[in-house]
A = this chain, B = another copy of it.
Amino acid sequence: MADSDSEQMVERKRGSGVKLVYDLLRDEILDLKLAPGSAIDEVALASRFGMSRTPIREALVRLAGEGLIETLPNRSTMVSNIDFLGMHAYFDALVLMYRVTTRLAAQHRRAEDLENIRTHQAEFSDAVRSQDALAMIATNAAFHSAIAAAGRNAYYAGFFDRLLGEGRRMLRLYYQSYEDRLPTRFVDEHEEIIAAIEARDVAAADRLGKAHGEQIVEQIGRLLTRHERQDIEL
C-alpha cells in the first residue's frame, strides 16, 4: 500500500482544486476524522492531492476564516479545538437560531420549500433507521438548513449553517459515546415542525423550534457534565 493515502491524480479542471481540498478537509474536520488539535502539513496535503502548495494554502485560508483551523504566524497550522468552555454560548445561539429560522419558514415558505424540506426529512429518517450516526448528523443539519432557506433570510441562514457545522463535531462526539443510537423522537419532532410550517402557524413553529433545540441541548448537556467531571481537554 505504497500510495493508498494519495488521491487519484486525474486531470482536474483549472480552478477546481481549491474547492476540492476545501470540501474534503472541511468534511474530515467536522466528522472528526482529523482530530482537534492535530497539525496540518501543507506539503503532505500537496502531495496527497497531487498539486502545488498554492491552492492548498488558499483552502486553508478559507477554513481559517470559518474558524475550523488555526494558524500560528510562521508556525504550524492545526485543526481548531472544540471550545467546551464556550459551549453554553454555543447552545444559546443555536436554540435562538432554531427558533428564528423555523418561525420565519412558517411565515415565508413556498410550496417548493416544503418539498425540499420533506426530502431532507426522509433522508434523516432513513439515517435514523439504519443507525448511521454520521449520516444522521449530516442529514439533520441539512434538514434544518433547508428550513432556514425557506425563511428567506440569508443572514440568519448563513449564521445558522455555521453553527450547525460547528455542531457536527460536538454531535459526533456525543453519538460516538452513545453507540450511535439516537432517539426516534427527533424524527417525530421534525414532523411536527413540518406540519407547523405547512400550516403557516408561526407561533407553533416558534414553540416547536425552541423545544427541539432545547431538547438537543439537554441531551448533550447531560453528556457534557459527565465529561467535565472526567477529563475533557479544552
* In the assembled complex, A40 has its CB within 8 A of some CB on chain B: no
| B155 in contact with A89 (CB, 8 Å) | yes
Q: With A and B bound together, what is the CA distance between A155 and B162 in angstroms? A: 10
Q: With A and B bound together, what is the CA distance between A65 and B155 in angstroms? A: 14
User: Which residues in B have their C-beta under 8 angstroms from that of A90?
Assistant: 155
* In the assembled complex, A153 has its CB within 8 A of some CB on chain B: yes
Q: With A and B bound together, what is the CA distance between A46 and B92 in angstroms? A: 43
| A100 in contact with B89 (CB, 8 Å) | no
Among B14, B57, B62, B163, which residue has its beta carbon within 8 angstroms of that of A155? B163
* In the assembled complex, A66 has its CB within 8 A of some CB on chain B: yes
Cβ of A197 to closest chain B Cβ, rounded Å: 18
Q: With A and B bound together, what is the CA distance between A155 and B88 in angstroms? A: 11
User: Which residues in B have their C-beta under 8 angstroms from that of A154?
Assistant: 83, 86, 89
User: Which residues in B have their C-beta under 8 angstroms from that of A92?
Assistant: 153, 155-156
Cβ of A55 to closest chain B Cβ, rounded Å: 11
* In the assembled complex, A126 has its CB within 8 A of some CB on chain B: no
User: Which residues in B have their C-beta under 8 angstroms from that of A183?
Assistant: none
Q: With A and B bound together, what is the CA distance between A62 and B67 in angstroms? A: 12
Q: With A and B bound together, what is the CA distance between A154 and B61 in angstroms? A: 20
Q: Which residues of A approach B to under 8 Å, CB–CB? A: 14-15, 54, 57-58, 61-62, 65-66, 73-74, 83, 86, 89-90, 92-93, 96, 100, 152-156, 159, 163
Sample 16 A-B pairs with CB under 8 A, ordered by A number. Answer: A14-B74, A15-B73, A58-B58, A61-B62, A62-B65, A83-B154, A86-B154, A86-B155, A89-B154, A89-B156, A92-B155, A93-B153, A93-B155, A93-B156, A93-B159, A96-B100
